[in-house]
């Protein structure tokens, strides 16, 4: 299947202008592969796994990352799917590197919302050519889907990173809190879509986004999110903790991200 059949100019324009765009069906042939990988991941999570439960202790919100080197289904998708080529077109980049993958599973009755946040302040990477591909492995109703504040990637502002339980990632980081989006929804253009397995939401690391709880009584909301970077990405040493922590990376601040943790998926 050609890349032109998976992505059109309006998708690219929406990604660049709004900081988020929905792509219909580019990974429908990869859903079973990714679902098998997520099952393997949940059965044997990494030391960095995070599991949250709501106030009533019902369904879990499971999150884990940086497992691509030990889960064969993830490797197959990352290296063999059209994800890197799609990201290259969206970012306007000749090269694409893996930054990391992130699995996010909200089980049925998982009464845990994903708070509004930007990904960029969590990450030890600088650059404007960034792309996350959030790929649902289950049908996602609109009221359970991630939401995005259109154009927020162009505000030129960084907001304080928090864990998904709303505790700060780093105390006294001098960053401003995320605006109260829910308290002033009419002031923003908020994007969100009902999704089918194999669709994708592409978004910039700087785009403010969040997601409702999964209050569906029987249906899970499994998602595989692939984080990719382009030509201008550089390693960034931050004060305090980053997420992911990338404990083994020895790159100098400002270096091209040429390291085993960040394989090159597309050459210029």
Kindly give the confidence (pLDDT) of every residue in the chain, 268 residues in length, as a single tens digit, with 9 standing for 90 and above: 678 888 999 999 999 999 999 999 999 999 999 999 999 999 999 999 999 997 777 899 999 999 999 999 999 999 999 999 999 999 999 999 999 999 999 999 999 999 999 999 999 999 999 999 999 999 999 999 999 999 999 999 999 988 877 788 888 788 899 999 999 999 999 999 999 999 999 999 999 999 999 999 999 999 999 999 999 999 999 988 999 999 999 999 999 999 999 999 999 8
CB count, 10 Å around CB of 229?
26
pLDDT in the model for residue 1? 67
User: What is the spatial distance between Cα 138 and Cα 31, in angstroms, rounded to a whole number?
Assistant: 9
Return the ∠ at Cα 23 (arms to 18 and 25), rounded to 5°. Answer: 170
| Residue 36 C-alpha from the chain's centroid | 19
Phi-psi region of 107 (alpha: psi -120 to 50; beta: other; left: phi over 0): beta
* H or E, element range at 51: strand 50-53
pLDDT in the model for residue 4? 83
User: What is the spatial distance between Cα 205 and Cα 165, in angstroms, rounded to a whole number?
Assistant: 20
Closest CA to 203 of 87, 34, 30, 81: 87
Contacts with 131 (C-beta within 8 Å, 6 or more apart), sequence order: 15, 87, 90, 91, 202, 203, 204, 227, 228, 229, 230
CA distances to 100, 118, 130, 160 from 177, rounded to whole Å, are 25, 11, 22, 5
User: What is the spatial distance between Cα 132 and Cα 63, in angstroms, rounded to a whole number?
Assistant: 16
The pTM of this model reads 0.96
Give the bridge partners for 97, in sequence order.
229, 264
Please report where in the chains the tokens 């829910």 appear, as a residue: 182
């Amino acid at each position: 299947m050609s890349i032109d059949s998976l992505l059109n100019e309006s998708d690219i324009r929406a990604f660049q202008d709004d900081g988020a765009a929905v792509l219909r069906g580019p990974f429908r042939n990869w859903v079973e592969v990714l679902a098998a990988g997520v099952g393997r991941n949940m059965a044997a999570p990494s030391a960095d796994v995070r599991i949250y439960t709501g106030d009533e202790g019902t369904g879990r919100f499971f999150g884990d990352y940086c497992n691509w080197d030990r889960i064969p289904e993830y490797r197959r998708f990352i290296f063999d799917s059209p994800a890197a080529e799609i990201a290259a077109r969206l970012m306007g980049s000749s090269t694409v590197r893996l930054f990391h993958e992130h699995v996010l599973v909200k089980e049925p009755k998982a009464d845990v919302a994903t708070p509004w946040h930007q990904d960029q302040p969590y990450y030890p990477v600088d650059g404007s050519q960034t792309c996350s591909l959030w790929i649902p492995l289950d049908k996602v109703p609109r009221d359970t889907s991630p939401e995005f504040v259109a154009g927020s990637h162009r505000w030129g502002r960084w907001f304080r990173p928090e864990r998904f339980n709303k505790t700060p990632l780093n105390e006294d980081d001098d960053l401003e809190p995320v605006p109260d989006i829910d308290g002033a929804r009419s002031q923003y253009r908020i994007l969100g879509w009902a999704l089918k397995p194999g669709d994708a939401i592409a978004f910039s690391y700087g785009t403010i986004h969040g997601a409702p709880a999964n209050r569906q009584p029987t249906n899970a909301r499994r998602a595989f999110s692939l984080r990719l970077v382009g030509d201008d990405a550089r390693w960034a040493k931050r004060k305090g903790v980053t997420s992911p922590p990338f404990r083994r990376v020895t790159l100098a601040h400002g270096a091209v991200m040429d390291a085993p943790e960040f394989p090159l998926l597309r050459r210029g």
